[in-house]
Structure 1
Amino acid sequence: MDKMSTEQKILQRMDQENTGSIFINADFLDIAKSNTLRKSLKRLVDDNKITRILDGMYTKLEFSRLLNKQIYPSPVSVAHAIARKFNWYIFPSKNTALNMVGLSTQISNTYEFLSDGPYRNYTYINSEIIFKKSANKKIKIDSDSLVTLVVALDSYGKSNINLKEINIITSYIIENKITIKILEQNKTIPGWMYQLISDILKREAEK
């Protein structure tokens, strides 16, 4: 049986994940050495078998039958891939978090994240992804979705949350698969937020 080429091994690994997942060079370092890997990835891009998102970041684009076109990963997904590439811990700024959760309807093409890395600015399609260095150490939560919700709730304020906001938050929790288990693993979040999310999860479980 013929041995698989480096390109075939890369494609096989990408096919094991959901279409649209973003990969970085480090995800393939067990397949080939850096120089060989770069050449193989370039060939795959040149052959239109994969798409280069940013330097050292690749994906197999998802095709939307509804829109009849290929869909690029979201700027938020790209931001997290960048953070993974450089081993940064990131969380969204207040305005970005509010937009991601749906508590703000203000349209913006700028996605701002705070991180323990340096200041960086990336242009991705028609969006701008900005990383700002932050000394904030208090937000250490093992769930990107929950971090985003905590930042959004902190910005929105407890006194401003009514039925409309609860419905929006509920949709976000369901869509992003925030569970009781995830919540229980992160009990350091402010008490009122913990109670709000816990109550929503309990109501959904009873339906």
Structure 2
Amino acid sequence: MNDEHTIIEKTTLKERIEALPEDSVLFRSDFPEYHAEFVGSTLSELTCTGVLVKISQGIYVKPRNSRFGLVFPSVEKIVQAIAIRDKAEVLPSGMTALNTLGLSTQVPMNYTYLTTGSERTIKLSNHQVILKRGVPKNFCYSTRLIALLVQALRTLKQDNVGEEEFLVIRELISKEPDKENLGRDIDLMPGWMKRIVKPMLVNN
């Protein structure tokens, strides 16, 4: 490959990336039509100049600039982009699941997700996103609500489920449109969770 072709190819790739909208999530593997060395050096150059931020091996974001500094894409957007790329399922776990369902107002410092894809840790400005392999039974539910509720209740633990939590769960159950699969999923929940949630289905 001659030097002229090298310059043209690299410039074209750079312009393509610079033209991407802010909040974009991109992967080193997104550009298979270019030589791997060109992709790597171009991504490195754009990272050095602040156009991109590297958040994990082979994963970059294009943040927005604000008067308060760089604003990254949302955690959910980043995680979903990785899931699509990996052809994997992802599911919030731990405090992230509690926060997602409104069972906790505490914003987690670290966001944790179960995945059927590769494990990785993503470093954002002041927190981390941790994707760890989940066992298949975590992904056996048809409704996202029950899959999330199992993770949330597992973190909360049975003795800590009080009246306030009952009210939140009851409202979530009442708003779930897929009542047929909801009933089947509740039957698949661990015993103590099923005893809490199933009576709520009868009243909806």
TM-score band by shorter chain is 0.5 to 0.7
Q: Check the 8 A contact 1:122/1:128 in 2, yes or no.
A: yes
1:7 shift after superposition: 0.7
Percentage of pairs with the same residue: 22
Q: Select which of 20, 24, 28 maps to 1:21.
A: 24
Flag the structure with higher helix content.
2
1:98-154: per-residue Cα shift (whole Å, max 9, x none)?
A: 212322123421222222246544443332333332222462689xxx73x433434
Cα distance change, pair 131–164 in 1 and its aligned pair in 2 (3 A) = closer
Contact 1:97/1:151 (8 A) holds in 2: no
What does 1:39-118 correspond to in 2, within 5 Å? 39-64=41-66, 68-117=68-117
Q: Distance in 2 between matches of 1:163 and 1:34?
A: 50
**How many aligned positions are there?**
170
Q: 2 CA distance for matches of 1:124 and 1:63?
A: 15
- Cα separation, 2, equivalents of 1:68 and 1:80: 26
- Corresponding residue for 2:130? 130
Are residues 1:36 and 2:41 paired?
A: no
Asked if 1:162 is matched to 2:196, the reply is: no
Amino acid at match of 2:79: A
Cα distance, 1:189–1:27 mapped onto 2, change above 3 Å: farther
Which structure has the larger Rg?
A: 2
Alpha carbon RMSD of aligned pairs, Å?
4.0
Deviations 1:20-59 (A, max 9, x none): 12111122223x1221111111122222222222332222
- Partners of 2:90 and 2:169 in 1: CA distance: 29
- Post-superposition shift, 1:75? 3.5
Which residue identity lines up with residue 150 of structure 1 in the other structure? I
SS at match of 2:136: coil
Distance in 2 (CA, whole Å) between partners of 1:68 and 1:108 is 21
Question: Which sections of structure 2, spanning at least 5 residues, go unmatched?
Answer: 1-7, 154-160, 187-196
CA distance, structure 1, for counterparts of residue 84 and residue 168 of structure 2:
36
**Matched residue of 1:162: which SS?**
helix
Aligned to 2:16: 9
Letter in 2 for 1:29: P
Distance 1:124 1:59, change over 3 A: closer
Question: What corresponds to 1:204 in structure 2?
Answer: none
Structure 1 alignment gaps of length 5 or more: 200-207
